[in-house]
Homo-oligomer: A and B are copies of this chain.
């Protein structure tokens, strides 16, 4: 990095207002939802209006070896966009155009557009953009692409990468490349497109995405069931997966249910060991068949109570309760957010192990899970004013990741590694894959200016 990078040069190259150095304004760009205590103070926050301004910014940064931290809507949960002292924070929040090409069934989207905005624009044409993180109302498509975000419907419809047909990406030297396009199948050349999805801003900065849409698939029925234990619920999930393709299969443990009831009472059973929330979007009579079959499987697995509704609004109420878990647990203290995943049949072992770790460290760890995908979110609650509570939470955070790895799982299913899980990555990938990772990173960003300290 230059001793004092000539920021005036960049300010002169960009229109008024694109570069901010006001500390009060910059404060709002330092953290994402992970509230990373290690976040620094940026040299400046740059808010470009188009790809050309992104290129100008990155060219300047490359010239002066100034690191660049790309940032979407700031709803990340792993500190992937935590500010770095002396770096530019490049916020894409003013690049929000969304255009729907209904005949081709694609959305052409700028990275700052919110997931919900893309969904809404598609819906006007009877189309649907499936990936649905719980935060879909406030998270950006750029962030979704950076983390290869998942969500609730992914159990049937897949994750972000499955819907990315094209990307414009500004590379570390400011070059813009256009990858893929408005065609559904394309195998010409290497799969560079997919390499950038999930790269957490370490390889390039997405300035435009072409996203695949499918005809709308309305949810037709919702099944809620309570179980005596998370183990019984998890076993029911595995059994369902052998024959059925529900459009949602979520699990909430007792602590999550109680957190939601405390936060937004809706009459959930506080005594249940776990609750499963399944939905079917199978068309016509097939929906009732799918729901009935799941209900039978749940009952056989030991469900205490089951409830079915074919009313869409009532079903959405339950889904909203599920999505409220993050806010509900956040209201109980500071959080360390896990995102560990395992092969689906190992889910009961993982959940039992997490409960054991919570007990051992005497901390509260409500768990919610995209159970059909084997992806769980243990939310570690601690008291930030209590050093011992923080130490126990930190130890549990590490142990839960170690447990997932030991079970053939992953430290992150959909949130990304960011800055908070970076130390755990080598244990999952091993030295050969880490070496390969660094080879790719070095080839694409030899000066290491793109999102240093994140992910790799």
Contact = CB atoms under 8 A, between A and B. Distances in A.
A188 interface: yes
Contact of A410 (B188, B415, B444): B188
Interface stretch (A46-54, A82-90, A240-248, A326-334): A240-248
A439 B106 CA distance: 30
Contacts of A194: 161, 191, 194-195, 197
Given A185-B341, A343-B182, A191 B373 contact: no
Given A178-B430, A283-B289, A444-B439, A412 B187 contact: yes
Interface in A401-416: 408-416
Contacts of A443: 439-440, 442-443
Interface stretch (A9-17, A97-105, A250-258): A97-105
B191 A148 contact: yes
Interface size class of A (residues with CB under 8 A): 35 or more
Contact of A242 (B159, B215, B283, B414): B215
Nearest to A103: B345
A420 interface: no
B150 A192 contact: no
Interface string A310-341: 00000000000000000000000000000001
B345 A184 contact: no
Interface stretch (A61-69, A169-177, A387-395): A169-177
A375 interface: yes
Given A282-B283, A456-B189, A183 B409 contact: yes
A101 to B, nearest CB: 8
Nearest to A181: B408
B243 A425 contact: no
A186 interface: yes
A162 interface: yes
Contact of A126 (B243, B430, B433): B243
A121 to B, nearest CB: 16
A185 B375 contact: yes
Contact of A436 (B105, B158, B171, B289): B171
Contact of A162 (B162, B171, B412, B430): B162
A304 interface: no
Interface in A181-209: 181-192, 194-195, 197-199, 202-203
A429 interface: yes
A417 B189 contact: yes
Interface string A288-314: 011000000000000000000000000
A414 to B, nearest CB: 6
The listed residue with most B CB atoms (<10 A of its CB), out of A185, A197, A345, A441, is: A185
Contacts of A215: 241-245
29 contacts: A101-B343, A105-B344, A150-B185, A171-B436, A176-B432, A177-B433, A178-B433, A179-B433, A181-B343, A183-B342, A183-B374, A183-B408, A184-B373, A184-B375, A185-B370, A187-B416, A188-B428, A190-B199, A190-B203, A190-B437, A195-B440, A215-B243, A282-B283, A283-B283, A283-B290, A284-B285, A286-B286, A440-B440, A442-B443
Interface of A: 101-106, 125-126, 147-148, 150, 154, 158-159, 161-162, 171, 175-179, 181-192, 194-195, 197-199, 202-203, 214-215, 238, 241-245, 282-286, 289-290, 341-345, 370, 373-375, 408-417, 421, 425, 428-430, 432-434, 436-437, 439-444, 455-456
